[in-house]
Each structure stands twice: as C-alpha cells, then as structure tokens.
Amino acid sequence: MRTLVYAHRGSSKAYAENTRAAYMQALVDGADGIECDIHLSSDGFVVCHHDPTVDRTSDSSGRVGEKTLTELKSLDFSSWKNPRIPPAYGKLREQLVTLRELVALLKDAGRPVGLAVEVKHPSPYGRQLEEAMIAELRAMGWEPETSMLGEIYVSFMSFDPGSVRYLMERIDPVHVCQLVTEVDEEWIDELVKAGESDRAGVAAVLASAMTEGVELLNSGVPQLAGPGVAYMRKHPRVVDGWLARGATFRVWTVDDPEDASYLVGRGVTQLTSNVPALIKAHLGLD
C-alpha cells in the first residue's frame, strides 16, 4: 500500500501552524493530505486552530470560543513563527481560516488530497462542535457514505473517545481515527492555562481518556489508529495487536527521517509531519 504523508497543521516548520500560508505551502510541498484542528468561534463558525486559547500563537489572549470570527480574523497568528509570508499566501492578518476556507484551498489544488480534521476537546460547546463541522461539510457537498468532497477525502480524528464514538454513530468507522498518546506535562499545562481545572484533575481526566481510547482501538471498531511516534516505540505489543487486526495507522509527528523509515518498516501507511516535503523525499515518494 502506498505511503501517504499528511502535513501536520500544514507545513508548520515553514509557517505558523494552522495558517493559510502553512496550508498552501503544504500543497506546494506535495503533501498527500493536510491535518487541521478545529474549534467553534463564539458566533458558531468552525475555525482552524489548535489550542483552546489564542495566547501561544497570536498577538492577543483569551479563549477561541469566546471570540467572534471577526475578532479572530483581526489577530496576527503568524509573526511569532514567520512574518515573511509570500503575497500569494495572503496578508499577515488573513492567516486564520475557517474549515470552509481550508476546503476551498484544497479544491484549488486541482488534485486528489486528504483532509484530516482533528476535533478538539474539551470544547465549551460540547458536541455542537461535531454537529457544526458535519453541517458545514454537508453544505459544501461532502458525501458521508464515501467521505468524499469532490476530490477531497475527509477523515476525522480526536483524542476524546466520546467524540470518536459520537462520530462513528454518524460516519462509517473506516473514516474515524482514535488518537492516543502519553499524558505529558505540556498537554496538562495547555488545559490548565485554558482554565479547565486543577492540574491533578486535568491529569486524571486525560489519563482516563487515553485508557478509554486504547480500549476503543483494542475493540477493533475505529478503523484508523493515531498514536504518536513515542507511543509506537514505547508500546510495541499494543501496536502489534492493532496492526494484526488490520487497523490503518496514521502516526504523528514524523519529522525525523529515521522515524519515518522505522514506521514504514512497521507497516504504517500514513505519516503526519511538519516537514512533508522532507519526509516524502527521504522515502522516495516524490
């Protein structure tokens, strides 16, 4: 089976993650697909952004879900990484995009391409996030049976087992990915800064979710398994079980060519990378 390389939040080594520039560069780099993260704005738009707040990646602060789309669009999401954006990639304050705008960019590519949508939780809007995403995709012509939107193949991912189950009730499990990882301090810090709870409470919730996510993959229901590179190396027996039952693996974040070679040798067919051009070249996929 052909190895596919997805651009992690776009080509996010070159340009700020989840920005128009990073997505457009990923298409130039020949990425087979683009991975994005989604939240809901306060006025109900599905926007591409990773963190629950804008603090880390913009010139402002506050929760994504408490800002309108207009407010989010007014922020600078690029200068922290690379303010030198080619004119063709849009202006400095045109870098945050909605899910609809990202789909339009992929359509303009004029070739088959994947779109991996990571649904971010906890969300202040609960399952309204999933419902808004599905409604938006349907409005653009997405076909749930095949999960195709023109030449775009759409798949769905989440670390939240509840979200994965919710999606699998509405979408064929072959298109749904359960993400798993080790619970680390960085992840805990991210949620604590967003005001979710105390550190111990956050750590307990995340650990429970990851245990449930592993159990869900052990059940064989989700057809896509999404462990991180470190998880692949640390839990070979668990991974072997998923491989044996025929799961398709989409592993993140694969920026080291040695990791790419190791994963392909393990039977992984989908890699998610901040440097898709480098990984494709290393694997001879150009």
Q: Which residues are catalytic?
A: 8, 50
Rounded to 5°, the CA angle 75-76-82 comes to: 165
37 within 8 A of 50, measured Cβ to Cβ = yes
Buried-state track 115-137, b at ≥16 Cβ within 10 A, e below 16: bbbbbbbbbebeeebbebbbebb
User: How many angstroms separate the Cα of 142 from the Cα of each of 3, 147, 174?
Assistant: 25, 6, 16
Q: Which of 90, 78, 103, 75 is nearest to 18 (CA)?
A: 78
What sign for the dihedral angle of Cα 83, 88, 90, 96? negative
Residue 237, CA atoms < 13 Å, CB-side half-sphere? 0
What distance in Å separates the CA atoms of residue 64 and residue 154, rounded to the nearest whole number? 24
